[in-house]
Amino acid sequence: MTIDEFFNKYDDQYIDFDGQYGSQCVDLIKAYFNEVVGISSDPRGNAINYWDNCPELEQIPNTLEGVPQKGDVMVWNAGIGSQYGHIAIAKGVGDTVRFDSFDQNFPIGTPCHFQNHNYKSVIGWLRPKNQPTTPQPEPIPTPIPTPQPEPTPEPESQPQPIPEPIPVPQEPSVQIPIENKIEVIMLLAKIKNLLGSIRFWIVTLTYVIAILSALAAGALTIDVFFRATEIWLGAIVAIGTVDKVAEKIGGTAETTITK
């Protein structure tokens, strides 16, 4: 039987191998010796006495660097809390600080189970002499690179001739005679004067209507009158400013054409 089969068989089970004193921790070890290790399961004393009474096993004292392997028999002294010591089977999981083992009657009255421990009060561990050491992983073979065919050189590309640009026909520019330009400017000046007069009368008419409406409603006061007058005068000034700017632009353009 393998050790894993042994763990699976007795996990959460009670073992009373010798039929005496109930299910003790040494009953688990006797069954382990009988079914897995293949050595005598005769009485060897209490748990603490197994350290000196198992000549078939290799003694490995507990050290700061030591870590038990799977299947090692762990032995504790009376510091574990019992004058008889304690004994269990290493699971193979742990480090130099803690480890897991397969225990019975620890804590007292418990069936076989996996238990985590520190190394306090551990005398050492007994290793079956026919137990293989931890196998080293086989090295991964380095893959042999598959030779790749050399790439076929591509033929050198010949430079392509640059096509001559196609000339775009230019549309002839239209020249306007100077006489026609003068007539246009004179017409624009007349329109400007007409628009200025219209804007003046619109603003003035709006002002008069506002004054008459306030007078009819009895709301015409000195403040309303002066406010309306101020708005009307501002609009007249704005119309005059616009006209002066337009006149200056028109005059400049006319002088330029005359030259």
Per-position pLDDT tens, the chain of length 259: 999 999 999 999 999 999 989 999 999 999 999 999 999 888 899 999 999 999 999 999 999 999 999 999 999 999 999 999 999 999 999 999 999 999 999 999 999 999 999 999 999 999 988 665 544 444 556 667 777 777 776 666 666 767 677 777 666 555 656 667 677 777 777 877 777 788 888 888 888 898 888 888 888 788 888 888 888 788 778 777 655 655 654 554 444 444 4
Given 3-state DSSP classes, what are the helix, strand and coil percentages for the chain, each rounded to the nearest 5? 40, 15, 45
b/e burial code for range 84-95 (CB count within 10 A of at least 16 → b):
bbbbbbbbbebe
Q: How far apart are CA 7 and CA 17, in angstroms?
A: 16
pLDDT at 119: 98
The verdict on pTM exceeding 0.75 is: no
Q: How far apart are CA 117 and CA 121, in angstroms?
A: 10
| CB proximity list for 116: less than 8 A, separation 6 or greater | 98, 99, 100
**What residues form DSSP beta bridges with 73?**
89, 126
Residue found under tokens 């007292």: 108
68 in Cβ contact with 88 (< 8 Å): no
Q: Are strands 113-118 and 98-103 parallel, antiparallel or unpaired?
A: antiparallel
Q: How far apart are CA 45 and CA 172, in angstroms?
A: 125
